């Protein structure tokens, strides 16, 4: 997530420079042919250009809207994960109770179980986060939105076992990463421990069902993230948005030429700056839609999952009464991950 109100030129530049040069060269060539070599047949009426513009407007607008919806839904889900994690915290702490509050062995065992349930939960959200960011949706050579992030050392992502080592023992991790979907298995382990606690009498059936419902809630949120990740914005819409935009950009200078030539001969050269600006504007709209589409890609427009996971960790460990809480994550180069 980008975190300043104004996007500085240094961020816009890597997205723009390549295409702006293309627009400049393309329009200069056309103007030269028209003015110097007098290829007047290059002037084409603006009407067909504007007609293609209609299709562009609809598709680019639709793509931008849908990308934003995907991004916003992803953020909502992580908001729900935060809320449900806090709720998990108070349930673990206040639902579980020893059958006899005077048996110090039971009290200690229960205290240990509570810590396990909360630490395994922190492992769980970490596992979701790493799984979501691990593998890109598309294999692309150039993806500026991702390059910008990967150039920053602080955002280097560790492998799942490294990330989990703060919350789980080595043997648990070793066993976990054999499974095809470690996050799913972590929830399964939560459920098994709840069952065991209930069998041992720490938890009545009634509390048990209520806590199991929280696990169902976590599965729902995990699944919602995986759905956004594994079902990208449908290609039939996204790809033709790209195609129509470039069709428009290719055809545009011929139409502009005509309009400029109506004013005066040398006005034709104004086609170059105006064309470059307009083409940049439409190309930017396309790129904004395109880079906002996938919110879990280790890219500049990601949902700041690492920061959210850290906040949850602070809240839950604070509830456990731990003292040395980690600090909140800060944006690096105005990017919060």
Residues 199-258 that bind its own copies (CB under 8 A): 199, 204-207, 209-210, 212-213, 215-216, 219-220, 222-224, 226-227, 231, 234-240, 244, 247, 251-252, 255-256, 258
DSSP code at position 267:
G
Confirm or reject binding of residue 10 to its own copies (CB under 8 A). no
Site for its own copies in 117-176 (CB under 8 A): 138, 140
Q: CB-hemisphere CA count at 13 Å for 138? A: 14
Confirm or reject binding of residue 292 to its own copies (CB under 8 A). yes
Taking CB under 8 A as the criterion, the residue among 30, 173, 194, 337 binding its own copies is 194
Number of residues that bind its own copies (CB under 8 A): 119
Taking CB under 8 A as the criterion, the residue among 16, 191, 332, 333 binding its own copies is 191
| SS3 (DSSP) at 332 | strand
DSSP lists the bridge partners of residue 335 as 2, 332
Considering beta carbons, is residue 153 or 236 the nearer one to its own copies? 236
Confirm or reject binding of residue 28 to its own copies (CB under 8 A). no
Confirm or reject binding of residue 91 to its own copies (CB under 8 A). yes
Site for its own copies in 295-334 (CB under 8 A): 301, 303-304, 314-315, 318-319, 325, 328
Of 132, 143, 135, 32, nearest to 78 by C-alpha is: 132
Report, in Å, the least distance between residue 167 CB and its own copies. 19
Q: Rounded to the nearest 10 degrees, how much is the dihedral formed by the CA atoms of 137, 143, 146, 150?
A: 120
Q: Are 257 and 42 in contact (CB under 8 A)?
A: yes
| SS3 (DSSP) at 323 | coil
Site for its own copies in 262-291 (CB under 8 A): 262-264, 266-267, 270, 274-275, 277-278, 281-282, 284-285, 288, 291
Stretch that binds its own copies, among 28-36, 147-155, 158-166, 190-198 (CB under 8 A): 190-198
Rounded CA separation 15/283 (Å): 10
Confirm or reject binding of residue 98 to its own copies (CB under 8 A). no
Q: CB-hemisphere CA count at 13 Å for 279? A: 29
Confirm or reject binding of residue 66 to its own copies (CB under 8 A). yes
DSSP code at position 335:
B
Q: Are 147 and 304 in contact (CB under 8 A)?
A: no
Considering beta carbons, is residue 156 or 171 the nearer one to its own copies? 171
Rounded CA separation 137/135 (Å): 6
Structure tokens at 332: 């690096």
Taking CB under 8 A as the criterion, the residue among 13, 18, 21, 83 binding its own copies is 83
Q: Are 211 and 195 in contact (CB under 8 A)?
A: no
Considering beta carbons, is residue 17 or 237 the nearer one to its own copies? 237
């Amino acid at each position: 997530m980008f975190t300043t109100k104004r996007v500085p030129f240094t961020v816009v530049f890597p997205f723009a420079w390549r295409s702006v040069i293309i627009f400049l060269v393309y329009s200069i060539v056309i103007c030269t042919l028209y003015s110097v070599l007098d290829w007047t047949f290059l002037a084409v009426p603006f009407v067909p250009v504007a007609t293609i513009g209609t299709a562009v407007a609809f598709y680019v607008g639709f793509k931008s809207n849908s990308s934003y919806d995907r991004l916003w839904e992803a953020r909502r889900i992580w908001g729900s994960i935060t809320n449900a994690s806090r709720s998990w915290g108070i349930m673990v702490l206040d639902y579980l109770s020893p059958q006899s509050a005077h048996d110090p062995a039971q009290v200690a065992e229960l205290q240990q179980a509570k810590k396990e349930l909360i630490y395994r939960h922190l492992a769980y959200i970490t596992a979701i986060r790493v799984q979501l960011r691990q593998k890109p949706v598309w294999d692309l050579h150039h993806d500026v939105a991702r390059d910008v992030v990967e150039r920053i050392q602080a955002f280097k992502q560790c492998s799942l076992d490294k990330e989990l080592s703060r919350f789980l023992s080595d043997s648990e991790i070793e066993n976990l990463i054999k499974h095809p979907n470690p996050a799913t298995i972590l929830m399964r382990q939560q459920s098994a421990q709840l069952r065991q606690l209930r069998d041992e009498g720490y938890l009545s059936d009634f509390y048990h069902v209520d806590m199991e419902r929280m696990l169902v809630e976590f599965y729902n949120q995990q699944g919602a993230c995986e759905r956004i990740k594994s079902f990208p914005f449908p290609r039939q819409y996204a790809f033709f948005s790209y195609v129509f935009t470039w069709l428009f950009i290719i055809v545009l200078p011929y139409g502009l030429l005509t309009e400029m030539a109506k004013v005066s001969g040398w006005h034709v050269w104004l086609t170059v700056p105006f064309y470059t600006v307009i083409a940049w504007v439409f190309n930017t709209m396309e790129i904004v839609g395109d880079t906002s589409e996938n919110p879990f890609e280790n890219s500049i427009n990601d949902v700041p999952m690492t920061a959210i996971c850290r906040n949850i960790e602070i809240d839950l460990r604070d509830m456990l009464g731990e003292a040395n809480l980690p600090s909140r994550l800060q944006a690096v180069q105005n990017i919060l991950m």
